[in-house]
């Protein structure tokens, strides 16, 4: 079972499978530490980006010796007390968390977010290191084309959930690929797992490699046949919704079970494939899919802006 540890610096909730039975059997004692990190050891540019915000360091000792901990099957939840500035409170969705490696390089932690109810920044991690609270306002030069999705894209990009085609281009009206969508879906839901199997057309150096392998292990996707995933192919709206519904069920976040009756309001409901009816109906019942002009457009390809709008609703509808 999970154990919660509270300190003045923060709170850590560890799952029962954090350490293997072998480690527990051999260790006389083990201790988890959460400490304020020394910012002076960080690169100067990083110190400026962090400012006065907290930086913590998580550690583990077994038998009195500090050890490295990494377990993709046992994410740990961390809460850090945080009082946002007046400017941050004006748009708190951009409060997030960075993982800092031993060389001072950073990576966004997708689960990092501010919780106004508890007055904390919360995130989950599968490895111990340094973590910083940051305020990130990522944007792209081409978002004015989709004002209805601009905020959603900016928030998700600031948290490392979606990627642009470059630092300045998001291409919101282009079709999203299967690899891009699954990458963002797995990250939005904070899904983690150790895995051994892969698809033949997904290479280890592809940026979406980890996320697609996690989705395969959990059965979110079965690929396109012959152990292939076709990551660079576009994805239809109904396939996007099927993947989202499966992932939400896996995360135990979606309880609504829709029926064909939930699709009656859409003029093009007859175009929905049989395999997608229940998934789309469930997302409609949950309020995650609303359609456009009385249609759900199941056969149309999904644009990068449309995908971001759904991912944003998913990210903000559930707590992980």
Tens of pLDDT, residue by residue over 210-226, are 999 999 999 999 999 99
Average pLDDT, the chain: 93
DSSP category for residue 250: H
Q: Given pLDDT bands bounded at 50, 70 and 90, which one contains residue 27?
A: low
Question: Token pair for residue 179?
Answer: 């690899």
From the list 23, 263, 303, the residue with the least C-alpha distance to 173 is 303
Contact between 104 and 111 (Cβ < 8 Å): no
Query: Strand pairing partners for 45?
Result: none
Domain ranges in the chain with CATH number 2.60.220:
3-135
Residue 319 reports pLDDT greater than 70: no
Q: What does the alpha-carbon distance between residue 118 and residue 132 come to, in Å, rounded to a whole number?
A: 18
Distances in Å between the alpha carbon of 77 and those of 7, 13, 109, 167, 287?
Answer: 14, 5, 12, 30, 27
Do β-strands 95-100 and 106-109 pair in parallel, antiparallel, or remain unpaired? antiparallel
Residue 252 reports pLDDT greater than 80: no
Distances in Å between the alpha carbon of 243 and those of 35, 108, 212?
Answer: 39, 24, 12
Contact between 112 and 96 (Cβ < 8 Å): yes
Q: Given pLDDT bands bounded at 50, 70 and 90, which one contains residue 23?
A: low
- Span 263-277, pLDDT tens digits: 999 999 999 999 999
Helical axes 178-188 vs 237-250, angle rounded to 10°: 30
Specify the range with the lowest mean pLDDT, choosing from 19-28, 137-146, 204-213, 301-310: 19-28
Taking the CB of residue 281, how many other CB atoms lie within 10 A of it? 24
The stretch 181-199 carries a mean pLDDT of 95
SS3 14: strand
pLDDT given for residue 303 in this prediction: 96
- Span 71-110, pLDDT tens digits: 899 999 999 999 999 999 999 999 999 999 999 999 999 9
Query: Strand pairing partners for 56?
Result: 36, 131
For 199: left if phi > 0, alpha if psi spans -120 to 50, otherwise beta; the answer is: beta
Helical axes 274-286 vs 237-250, angle rounded to 10°: 60
pLDDT given for residue 30 in this prediction: 77
CATH architecture of the domain covering 3-135: Sandwich (2.60)
Torsion of CA 164, 170, 176, 181, to 10 degrees: 40
The stretch 28-55 carries a mean pLDDT of 93
Q: What does the alpha-carbon distance between residue 260 and residue 250 come to, in Å, rounded to a whole number?
A: 22
pLDDT given for residue 208 in this prediction: 97
The stretch 305-316 carries a mean pLDDT of 96
DSSP category for residue 262: G
SS3 176: coil
Q: Given pLDDT bands bounded at 50, 70 and 90, which one contains residue 255?
A: confident
Cα-Cα-Cα-Cα dihedral sign, residues 273, 279, 284, 287: negative
Query: b/e string for 29-65 if b means 16 or more Cβ within 10 A?
Result: ebebbbeebebeebeeebeebbeebbbbbbbbebeee
Contact between 111 and 320 (Cβ < 8 Å): yes
Q: Given pLDDT bands bounded at 50, 70 and 90, which one contains residue 254?
A: confident
The stretch 43-58 carries a mean pLDDT of 97
CA angle at 226 for the pair 239 and 210, rounded to the nearest 5°: 65
Q: Given pLDDT bands bounded at 50, 70 and 90, which one contains residue 124?
A: very high
Residues above pLDDT 70, as percent of the chain? 97
Residue 239 reports pLDDT greater than 90: yes
pLDDT given for residue 96 in this prediction: 98
């Amino acid at each position: 079972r999970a154990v919660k540890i509270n300190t003045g610096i923060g709170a850590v909730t560890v799952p029962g499978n954090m350490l293997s039975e072998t480690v527990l059997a051999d260790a006389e004692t083990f201790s988890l530490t959460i400490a304020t990190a020394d910012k002076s050891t960080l690169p100067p540019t990083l110190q400026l980006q962090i400012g006065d915000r907290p930086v913590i360091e998580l550690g583990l000792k077994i038998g009195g010796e500090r050890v490295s901990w990494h377990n993709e099957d046992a994410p740990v939840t961390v809460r850090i007390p945080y009082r946002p500035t007046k400017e941050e409170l004006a748009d708190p969705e951009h409060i997030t968390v960075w993982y800092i490696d031993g060389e001072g390089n950073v990576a966004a932690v997708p689960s990092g977010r501010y919780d106004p109810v508890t007055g904390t920044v919360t995130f989950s991690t599968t490895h111990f290191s340094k973590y910083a609270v940051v305020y990130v306002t990522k944007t792209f030069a081409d978002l004015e084309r989709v004002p209805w999705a601009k905020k959603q894209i900016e928030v998700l990009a600031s948290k490392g959930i979606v990627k642009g085609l470059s630092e300045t281009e998001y291409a919101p009206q282009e079709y999203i690929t299967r690899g891009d969508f699954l990458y963002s879906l797995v990250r939005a839901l904070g899904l983690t797992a150790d895995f051994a199997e892969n698809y033949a057309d997904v290479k280890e150096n592809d940026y979406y490699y980890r996320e697609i392998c996690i989705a395969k292990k959990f059965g979110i996707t079965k690929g396109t046949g012959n152990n292939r995933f076709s990551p660079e192919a576009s994805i239809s709206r109904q396939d996007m919704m099927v993947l989202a519904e499966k992932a939400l069920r896996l995360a135990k976040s979606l309880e609504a079970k829709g029926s064909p009756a939930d699709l009656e309001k859409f003029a093009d409901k007859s175009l929905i494939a049989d395999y997608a009816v229940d998934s789309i109906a469930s997302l409609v019942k949950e309020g995650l899919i609303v359609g456009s002009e009385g249609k759900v457009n199941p056969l149309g390809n999904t644009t990068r802006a449309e995908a971001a709008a759904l991912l944003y609703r998913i990210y903000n509808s559930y707590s992980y």
